[in-house]
Amino acid sequence: MSNKELAKGIHWVGAIDWDVRDFHGYSTLAGTTYNAFLIIDEKITLVDTVKRSHYADLMFQIKQLIDPEKIDYLIVNHVELDHAGSLAEVMDAVKPEKLICSPMGQKAILDHFHREDWPFEVVKSGDTISLGQRTLYFLETRMLHWPDSMFTFAMEDGILFASDAFGQHLATSERFDDQVPLSTIMDQAAKYYANILYLYSPLIRKLLTKVGELNLDIKMIAPDHGVIFRKHIGEILTAYDEWSKNKFDEKALIIYDTMWHSTEKMAVAIARGLEQEGVFTELINLKVHHRSDVMTKVLNAGALVLGSPTLNNGLLPRMAGFLMYMRGLKPQNKLAASFGSYGWSGECVKLLNQSIEEMRLDLVDEGLRFKYVPTDEDLDECVALGRRIGAAVKERAQQEG
């Protein structure tokens, strides 16, 4: 069996994007893959397509196996353009008998491609389609992470084509989870969860329960990005269960930006206070950490301590941008506080606290601001703030057991 074959007659025909470094604001330093799968049965079926830039790669992979015109069914599990970007070209090349998608998928395809003449076959949760030897079972996964998203399950082979769920932005010539170090896969899976799926954690919990109730005999999970899980299915399901719980961990992040190092000095002093309380603490300077890497750390942090000086009555732009990004991802069950230096108007702490309240994080202190350069006494106050936050973290961790 080739390295691209998931099971007899089911082949990976996707594309590897070695170069992509920005995925709508998410830094993809390890590149990514756009996975698509060809099922060769009495009805030959293509599951998903690829980003438009990689259409030639998709066609190359298919042509290694069959004439693309022999494809009967085309399944679109998700319409976002990293998967459906080449749909119009593929439809022209393949002219399938059926274009299979969810009800919301049909709407999204029409809104993107405006082709009422395509041969839509709309499937809902629980519907099945026979390919001859195989049966495909469909499960709508609305808002995971778009309204159109769905899973396709190849019942006899036990392969779950999971669209974006369980994905990792990881370019590799290996296709399976037992061919790449597990830590590499899980680091990228955590980053993917934190930056794409975090806000849908309550829906993920429901989906995991639903999949459990369906008793699907899952032997493989094939996401549309990264490697396919065949050995570590338990690990990725357990990780999704953990990440979606929003559980409180005894860990603090001090996330800050600084203009002339005064806010940085405050950050270091607050970290000392947290450490004195025995709370694991990371100092995160937004100048050197990309927002999407910070979000991966936020995923399992119990406290966020936010620092920015005042600039032109506002926050430094990197902090303002980070807050906008984080707010959309809806972190929950975290303590928070703020700090910053200022010269005259001094709105930094007020604005940071407003943002904390808008995100519905638990503000544990009114915060600290100091004029221009903090004195030794000011820094002692920062240490004391760190200790107060640390004590609150310990208390919450104890309450949550």
Dihedral, CA atoms, 270, 273, 278, 283, nearest 10 degrees? 20
Q: Is 140 in the site for ligand FEO (CB under 6 A)?
A: no
Closest to ligand FEO by CB, 43 vs 83, is: 83
The only residue of 11, 43, 54, 78 in contact with ligand FEO, by rule CB under 6 A: 78
- 280 vs 12: CA distance, rounded Å: 42
The only residue of 140, 164, 257, 347 in contact with ligand FEO, by rule CB under 6 A: 164
Closest to ligand FEO by CB, 81 vs 373, is: 81
Give whole-number Cα distances, 255 to 38, 153, 251, 302, 385, in Å.
45, 42, 13, 13, 15
192 catalytic, yes or no? yes
Q: Which stretch binds ligand FEO (CB under 6 A): 37-45, 77-85, 267-275, 390-398?
A: 77-85
- 81 vs 172: CA distance, rounded Å: 21
Number of residues in contact with ligand FEO, rule: CB under 6 A? 9
Structure tokens at 85: 């970007």
80 catalytic, yes or no? yes
306 neighbors 352 (Cβ within 8 angstroms): yes
26 catalytic, yes or no? no
83 catalytic, yes or no? no
CB of 322 to ligand FEO, least distance (A): 22
Annotated catalytic residue: which of 17, 82, 140, 381?
82
Give whole-number Cα distances, 335 to 119, 253, 363, 388, in Å.
52, 10, 6, 11
CB atoms within 10 A of CB 209: 11
Q: Is 54 in the site for ligand FEO (CB under 6 A)?
A: no
Closest to ligand FEO by CB, 163 vs 353, is: 163
The only residue of 82, 257, 277, 347 in contact with ligand FEO, by rule CB under 6 A: 82
Structure tokens at 314: 């506002």
Give whole-number Cα distances, 333 to 279, 294, 326, in Å.
17, 17, 14
Q: Which of residues 229-288 bind ligand FEO (CB under 6 A)?
A: none
333 neighbors 202 (Cβ within 8 angstroms): no
Q: Is 148 in the site for ligand FEO (CB under 6 A)?
A: no
CB of 85 to ligand FEO, least distance (A): 10
Closest to ligand FEO by CB, 240 vs 370, is: 240
Tell the burial category of 139 from Cβ atoms under 10 Å away from its Cβ (0-12, 13-18, 19+).
buried
- 78 vs 293: CA distance, rounded Å: 25
145 catalytic, yes or no? yes
Annotated catalytic residue: which of 145, 169, 232, 289?
145
Give whole-number Cα distances, 119 to 19, 74, 184, 368, in Å.
35, 10, 41, 62
The only residue of 11, 43, 54, 83 in contact with ligand FEO, by rule CB under 6 A: 83
Q: Is 145 in the site for ligand FEO (CB under 6 A)?
A: yes
The only residue of 41, 57, 177, 224 in contact with ligand FEO, by rule CB under 6 A: 224
Active site residues: 24, 78, 80, 82, 145, 164, 192, 225
Q: Give the footprint of ligand FEO on this chain (CB under 6 A).
A: 78, 80, 82-83, 145-146, 164, 224-225
